Chain A
């Protein structure tokens, strides 16, 4: 693990931990703004959501990070989400502004 790359830990309500790149996590403006607080020091961001929702969010964050430069030029693959999580994802995605 390179020292240049910083990671943060996203913790779900049911104590699932997702260690993601800081740059990836900061796609969400809410997570980015939390770095100025205690979360910036600990590197742990607790989110009030279930593990499966958070997992889906993390997947989306990496999807976004991967294809953000290719969106203008080429066709990027569609990001699929499970139907039973769509409503909650809508709410959480709106909360995280992603």
Chain B
């Protein structure tokens, strides 16, 4: 035992204390206090909630005279974020703290009443935001018309990457040219395309020749059997790719229509047309080619061996 402590004599608990303890244990069942004086019930009343205290004040008005300070405690308990100090207007009331508590309660009720409307507004806003980000299927991909885009050439004729600068001389020239082509259209002038030559004559599978075909591996696929005079013209020389091995001239046809001669034994990759129409040669000009290396080529053949190249025109 510590000598500094004052010895506390334990006493038998008083009946007041025992009664207070029992009442506090059953505070929720306390509705009417009758004529019990305030000083006996102060420790019990301070534990009550606002609703209960209000009811007791209504039933036992003699309590209300003393209970205003209890309302301050209730403000601090129920509205901890709000100030518990009185303003001059409220201090004129008979029970100012109670009036302040009631004021805060009303504000809270208004807030809760509007909260449903507020929640709806917020939900709608969120739904709108979700709709903006929603993925929806579209029929075709449309480009934003507000964005200025340069015309994209699929043919790949524009090889240069376009710079973002707008005021270059080249751009001006381009624009001018575009305007001019719109005004002065020249339809006969077609843009160059390597595949134009194939468009006029439909590509047919290479015909099989049933004549004596002596194909030797040394000669290759372009090797010719016993040559016969060339009778039919074939694809224009401009479309023929020059092979590293010199192709016999019999396989190369000139654009000038030679006299019709049947050539049975000749085979070539390039299709020989059956008919002998006047081949349009207005656009494509035959080019002279080197002398055929095949010795058996008859000198009477009018087919000119033309050196062809895709780069030639």
Closest to B34 in A: A87
Q: Provide the main secondary structure of the chain B interface.
A: loop
Q: Which B residues are closer than 8 A to A by beta carbons?
A: 9-16, 18-20, 22-23, 26, 29-30, 33-37, 40
Interface residues of A in 54-90 (CB under 8 A from B): 57, 60, 63-64, 67-68, 71-72, 76, 79, 81, 83, 86-87, 89-90
Q: Provide the main secondary structure of the chain A interface.
A: helix
Residues of A contacting B35 in the complex (Cβ-Cβ under 8 angstroms): 91
Residues of A contacting B34 in the complex (Cβ-Cβ under 8 angstroms): 87
A12, B23: Cα distance in complex, Å: 24
Residues of A contacting B29 in the complex (Cβ-Cβ under 8 angstroms): 83
A90, B23: Cα distance in complex, Å: 9
Q: Is the CB of B15 within 8 A of A86?
A: no
Q: Is the CB of A87 within 8 A of B23?
A: yes
Closest to B13 in A: A79
A67, B26: Cα distance in complex, Å: 27
Residues of B contacting A13 in the complex (Cβ-Cβ under 8 angstroms): none
For the complex formed, measure the closest distance between the CB of A93 and the CB atoms of chain B, giving whole angstroms.
4
Q: Is the CB of A87 within 8 A of B12?
A: no
| A98: interface (CB < 8 Å) | yes
Q: Is the CB of A72 within 8 A of B22?
A: no
Given A79-B18, A81-B19, A83-B26, does the pair A90, B12 have CB atoms closer than 8 Å?
A: no
